[in-house]
Structure 1
Amino acid sequence: MSVSSSMFASRRVQQTVLQRIIGQNWGIVLAMVMLASAGFAMLYSVAGGTWEPWAAQQMIRFSVALVLMLAIAVIDIRYWVAAAYPAWFLGVLLLILVEVNGATGMGGQRWLDIGFMRLQPSELTKIATIMALARYYHGRNHTQSRSLRSLFVPIILLVIPFVLVVRQPDLGTSLMIIAGGVAVIFLAGAPAWLFAISGIGIAAAIPIGWQFMRPYQQDRVLTFLNPEADPLGAGYQITQSKIALGSGGMTGKGFMEGTQSHLNFLPEMKTDFIFTVLVEEFGLVGAGIVLALYAIVLMYGLLMGIGCRNQFGRLLASGLSISLFLYVLINVGMVMGLMPVVGVPLPLISYGGSAMLTWMIAYGLILSVATHRHMTIAPKGSGII
């Protein structure tokens, strides 16, 4: 066969796989487009009825990220098995670069300025950590996964990025890394009593950890416990958010009619508190539709993980779905005053390139798992990291 014929055949195979991905999963892609479109509308609204400076940029980012997601979905899952550990090392390297020469903003040194965007490596490291843990447990049977000795490598895979992200400082993202990793370890078969003991230990260590928290982090926790103590200072954000949520009622005030947002009472409208703007303008009905779309997308990822024949794909899809679910849970709980304000964006809706990129890469991997869920992958290099 000639080189040109081989290239043509390769393109045909990729086109067939891509058609299969879109054909089987068009509903999930549509749900993600609808969520992103809700974000475009909210960014248009908070900008006062203009596409600039946020909505237009977000649309471009989503378009590029959507192509990237489909490209990732086409790639054979065996390549992601091979890339798992290198991705983790790359993530750690980028976190070290942030430590050495990262861009500063919002009270922390968390970004790398790469010209066309400011990349937040901690977001991508969450995915890389889940990939590395899925790869590690792919080479172990259930008995080995339940062994305490098998926890040494997973702890290393979690602790290194956790410490680097805490130093930025970014407590919210560092806890998300731990939560996503713990989910994979649990799904891999680690004994339940270990998590119970760990939970008790963490609870007992809270007074000690409190001493090491930054003043603004302590203020967030105290504000969460009693936001009315300083309604014009530390409690201002959550107080205004609750007012906006309550004023939306069942059907909302109407598109671009939210008073808390358009009179600039509500801070961080385009990022952390964009769900508040949505509820004020579209009410409980609008919030229910958005949360239903999230539920569909996240349940799809879990079902693809459960139905996957190979351990890597099972843990990867399930771990990523749980991690993405935590994004939604924490952001919605945060704006409702049910959780401390920790700076976790609402996926696909909040303004931001790194969070958008993270979500789309994660779902590209989930779609790859879905496409290759019937494939059996030999645990090459079993027992060796």
Structure 2
Amino acid sequence: MKNNFSQNTSIFQKLRDYDYVLLMSILILGVISIFAMYSTDGGEILFHTKSHFVKFSIFFPMMLILSFVNIKFWHAGSYLFYLIILGLLIWVALYGVQASGSKRWINLYFLNLQPSELMKIAVILCLAKYFHRIRTERINHFSTILVSLTIIIVPTILVITQPDLGTSILISLSGLIILWLSGLRIKYFVYSFILFLISLPFAISFLKPYQKLRILTFIDPDRDPLGSGYQIIQSKIAVGSGGLTGKGFLKGTQSYLDFLPEKHTDFIFTLFSEEFGFVGSILLLLLYGLIIYRIIRTGLISRSFFSRLFCFGFAFAIFLYVSINMSMVLGLLPIVGSPLPIMSYGGSSLLATMIGFSIVLSAKINHNQNIS
């Protein structure tokens, strides 16, 4: 009788500590994404709408189930999760599905899995566990820095060879923010930045021709308005034509007349901005801001350093993905192939994001637990 009462109390406690604001924000964003996908299909329920709806309908309940898994499970399985995703990246290099000159996917029949998207979460999880056990005085030791950089660099190199420069940059930055949050001295970041600037001309020489073209197009999109500069020029026109309140749902001319390529993936924000204008774009940004705030809040109230590191790292990652995607479609950054979380079409990206949210929700439920 007592055990049953304790168990019920535990369930009640979990439900009481659940972050319903974050949950509703994710759900609202998911509903918006489905309507946006419906718009990309021209106001019909076609492939992208059906596929995105099915994936969200599967991954959202999966997130709910995983969120009730104790945060100690995620801590215990962090290294294993990282090694599994690293193994999948090696599998991609050897036997991956090739499309449009890139080898990034594993064919699972029901889903073309892109392990590099999952590595964005795995590297944060792995480093959060690694620094959770490192004493403060050892954080700036050479061996500690070497191990943490190896955790970041190995998957980054594997992703670059696919080739996928955009995702490799996101993996690297997600890992580096954990190093900064863990207490690594700022001088190492300054030295690294100086070294990066010095090596930049040499690094550019190793870029693929299309990657060099993206950089040149970013500097001057009008140099090839019907070729490499076409996407960014049309994206700017679409965003600008939305005005203050937008043209209305399903009334975006740039999108419907097919002037805007890749509107269901990297340029989904452009379509949304054209239809709902400046006001709609600001509301979407506020929704992302609320999600990031709730993740940071969970990190602040968590007793374990592991939970804090993961939440802060994941919040930064979401901020990074949103900032880079929106900057990219507005011409403020070169096009690097960065999806907008939940909004963009892509099963692997959605799966990785939902796993990240489930860990945050687990950290919120178990925020009073101290992981030894």
- Pairwise TM-score range, normalised by the shorter structure: over 0.9
Distance 1:247 1:369 in 2: 42
Tell me which moved more, 185-194 or 25-34. 25-34
Residue 337 of structure 1 corresponds to which residue in structure 2?
A: 331
Paired residues for 1:362-381 under 5 Å:
362-378=356-372
Distance 2:284 2:16 in 1: 27
Q: CA deviation at 1:220?
A: 0.6
Aligned equivalent of 2:292, options 286, 289, 298: 298
Aligned equivalent of 1:198, options 192, 196, 208: 192
- C-alpha distance 65-14 of structure 1, shift in aligned 2 (>3 A): farther
Paired residues for 1:288-367 under 5 Å:
288-367=282-361
**Normalization by structure 2: what TM-score?**
0.96
Distance 1:114 1:304 in 2: 34
Q: CA deviation at 1:12?
A: 4.9
Paired residues for 1:179-190 under 5 Å:
179-190=173-184
1:287 partnered with 2:287 = no
Tell me which moved more, 298-307 or 271-280. 298-307
Give the partner amino acid of 1:57: S
Q: CA deviation at 1:11?
A: 7.9
Paired residues for 1:114-153 under 5 Å:
114-153=108-147
1:259 partnered with 2:253 = yes
Q: What's the C-alpha RMSD, in Å, of the aligned pairs?
A: 1.7
Task: State the aligned residue count.
Answer: 372
Q: CA deviation at 1:145?
A: 1.2
Aligned equivalent of 1:161, options 144, 155, 171: 155
Aligned equivalent of 2:16, options 17, 20, 32: 20
- C-alpha distance 98-230 of structure 1, shift in aligned 2 (>3 A): same
Distance 2:92 2:103 in 1: 7
Aligned equivalent of 1:39, options 17, 33, 36: 33
**Normalization by structure 1: what TM-score?**
0.93
Tell me which moved more, 165-174 or 61-70. 61-70
SS in 1 for 2:43: coil
> Is the 2:14–2:365 contact (alpha carbons within 8 Å) kept by the matching residues of 1?
no
> Is the 1:14–1:74 contact (alpha carbons within 8 Å) kept by the matching residues of 2?
no
Distance 1:130 1:169 in 2: 22
Distance 1:211 1:341 in 2: 18
Q: CA deviation at 1:14?
A: 7.4
Distance 1:153 1:123 in 2: 22
Q: CA deviation at 1:109?
A: 0.4
For residues 35-88 of structure 1, what are the alpha-carbon distances to aligned partners after superposition, in whole Å with 9 as ceiling and x for unaligned? 111111111112111122112221221121111111221111111111010011
Residue 84 of structure 1 corresponds to which residue in structure 2?
A: 78
Distance 1:56 1:78 in 2: 36
- C-alpha distance 373-172 of structure 1, shift in aligned 2 (>3 A): same
Give the partner amino acid of 2:360: I
Gaps of 5+ in 2: none
1:111 partnered with 2:110 = no
> Is the 1:18–1:70 contact (alpha carbons within 8 Å) kept by the matching residues of 2?
no
Q: Which runs of 4+ in 1 moved over 4 A?
A: 8-15
Paired residues for 1:54-69 under 5 Å:
54-69=48-63
